[in-house]
Amino acid sequence: MPVALQIDLISSIVQAGARCPSGDTVDPSTEPTLRKAGVALITTYVEQLSLVGLVCDPTPLFGAEGGMWIGYSLTERGRELAASEPDLQRAVAELTGGPKTEVSEAVALLQRECRDAPLNEMYRDDFLKTIDEIRICFDEGCFIAVIGMCGKILEVCLKELLIRNSIQFDPNSGVGTLIKTIRERVPNEYLDPTLMNVANIINTSRIVAVHAKERIPIPSRDQTIMVIFATRDVVRRNLSHQPSA
């Protein structure tokens, strides 16, 4: 679709259907949220939700509150999803452009946390965009890209940590070198014990990305998830040090 649908309106359509007995037709004119959205928009949403199997039996009707509307019923799948907002969000991710998995939902939450934090304006926009691309690439199975972008985020956070502690470092230092420097120079700063393993995965993926290799070691989904959550931990710890807005 050229324009992503809004999850709030999708949820309102599904919840209105769930309140009706199975098989009954929803009259959108009797639902304040749907009536406010208007006939044209609700018709578009009903059409798209029918294509993904959440609503069925779209029917022209004269609304009890006036006007011509498109009524609809929920499918069994639609009724199941009405009970869980997260499951509904994942089911309609292709329509809304939202996260498709629990992992990408965690990344989306991290981005919202970062958006609300007073990040350094020098890199704020790029930082937020990179986190969003991590979410998108993970959902599309682009694991090498995910790991490379996690490396970028980790470098920013680890360098911030060293700057806060007034420790000089080579600006070209990679994740592994930065971790070693922090462990040597800032021993009281907690770093996940597995972070060096994460650094090795990132380094391997980056080498593959810039050098021709006879055999390309594609990271597994599990490795990628480990890198994502280790990165999330470092980012959150970095946010905890940010001054209040």
DSSP state of 174: -
3-state secondary structure 16-62: HHHHCCCCCCECHHHCHHHHHHCHHHHHHHHHHHHHCCCEEEEEEEE
Q: Which residue has the tokens 């969003």?
A: 132
H/E element, 70: strand 68-74
Q: Which residues contact 163 (CB under 8 A, 6 or more apart)?
A: none
How far apart CA 12 and CA 54 sit, in angstroms, is: 13
| Domain 7-96 CATH assignment equals 1.10.10.10 | yes
**The predicted structure's pLDDT at residue 2:** 46
Residues 1-33 pLDDT 10s? 445 789 999 999 999 999 999 889 999 999 999
pLDDT at 1: 41
**Tens digits of residue pLDDT in 139-175:** 989 999 999 999 999 999 999 999 999 999 998 899 9
The angle subtended at Cα 189 by Cα 183 and Cα 194, nearest 5°, is: 60
Which residue bears the tokens 């208007």? 38
Q: Where are the domains of the chain?
A: 7-96, 102-240
- How many other C-beta atoms lie within 10 A of the C-beta of residue 46? 25
Given this model, what pLDDT does residue 3 score?
57
Residues of the chain with pLDDT under 50: 1-2, 210
pLDDT score recorded for residue 240: 84
**Helix, coil or strand: residue 14:** helix
Amino acid at site 161: L
| Burial annotation 203-242 (CB, 10 A radius, 16+ → b, else e) | ebbbebeeeeeeeeeebeeebbbbbbbbbbbbbeebbeee
CA dihedral 222, 145, 142, 225 (to 10 degrees): 20
Q: What is the dihedral sign for C-alpha 141, 143, 144, 148? A: positive
- Is 1.20.120 the CATH classification of the domain at 102-240? yes
